[in-house]
Amino acid sequence: MAIRLLVTGGAGFIGSNFVHHTLAMDAGHTVTVLDALTYAGSVSNLAPVADRITFVHGNITDAALVDQLVGEHDVVVHFAAESHNDNSLSNPRPFVDTNIIGTYTILEAVRRHGNRLHHISTDEVFGDLELDDPAKFTSRTPYNPSSPYSSTKAGSDLLVRAWVRSFGLQATISNCSNNYGPYQHVEKFLPRQITNIIDGVMPKLYGSGQNVRDWIHVDDHNAAVHNIIDKGRTGETYLIGADGETDNKSALEMLLQLMGKPADWYEHVSDRPGHDLRYAIDSSDLRAELGWTPQYTSFEHGLAQTVEWYRANEAWWRPQKDATEARYKTLGR
């Protein structure tokens, strides 16, 4: 059935890919994107589908605007967030404003209009795991956030749960592992190293490189989100992961080999402050209940596709690159 979707943060990395994915489904859905266009969001991410969507430049803390837009749509898919851990350590306030106040503003509008809401969150709300711990995060793992970013995302999750229980909101939550793929800002680990290698610059490995991330291709994430919107149970939290656990050193070496460089062609730089050790997602509930499975079952396969996208879309990432590297230089990374 065709539905009217309001996508907050739809000009960001994951949100814009969700818009592309939605329109590629050819289900007759109409899509409106609401985005504040901070440094991490860009209308260029939506350029290939600009004539098929409505774009609204605005902030999710603007109660009047949010209320108007929510009232005009059937489903709200809430991607909008401040999401960079390092930035949250230097200036936490935008994270409180967007992730807490912005989510509250959306919840109140959804409550007034009786819409369906899906809230996108992160596995970082659970804290981190020891490198030798066989456990994975599940929907029953206690929250243990370790940064202003992850704590404000944890707070937004708890607000959604409270609005479901207190006011009967038709809402679901998903917590996802580390995404990669097209349109990811070059400040992030994989795009930064890919674009460095394209430029003939030796890539950087933070610290010892033992930190483990559970990688998932953004298309797999967004396919799971659609499954949850279509079939998820109200009030349920679903964890989205593709069994992509890889330490940063191995991920960088894989990248170098894919791009025709020696596996040891990188330099060590100072570690990120508060760098969590390991994330790992158990997505068995999602798979069993909703029948979702990832398309990219091999991290190497998805990484190769991502490398080719950055090679073919230099005009998209080039304007970001110099400013990003200048900022990292001041940090010694």
Which has the closest alpha carbon to 20: 229, 292, 221, 282? 221
Contacts of 18 (CB under 8 A, 6+ apart): 7, 10, 77, 79, 222, 225
Q: What are the backbone angles phi and psi of residue 204, rounded to the nearest 5°? A: -115, 140
> What CA–CA distance (Å, rounded) separates 166 from 143?
21
> What CA–CA distance (Å, rounded) separates 298 from 217?
10
Query: Given 35, 123, 128, 220, which residue is catalytic?
Result: 123
CB 190 within 8 A of CB 306: yes
Q: What are the backbone angles phi and psi of residue 280, rounded to the nearest 5°? A: -155, 130
Query: Given 124, 187, 219, 282, which residue is catalytic?
Result: 124
Query: Given 82, 104, 149, 157, which residue is catalytic?
Result: 149
289 carries an active-site annotation: no
149 carries an active-site annotation: yes
130 carries an active-site annotation: no
Amino acid at 178: N
CB 172 within 8 A of CB 228: yes
Total length of the chain: 333
The distance from CA 284 to its chain's CA centroid, rounded to whole angstroms, is 20
The single residue listed with the structure tokens 């070059």 is 186
Annotated active-site positions, please?
Answer: 123-124, 149
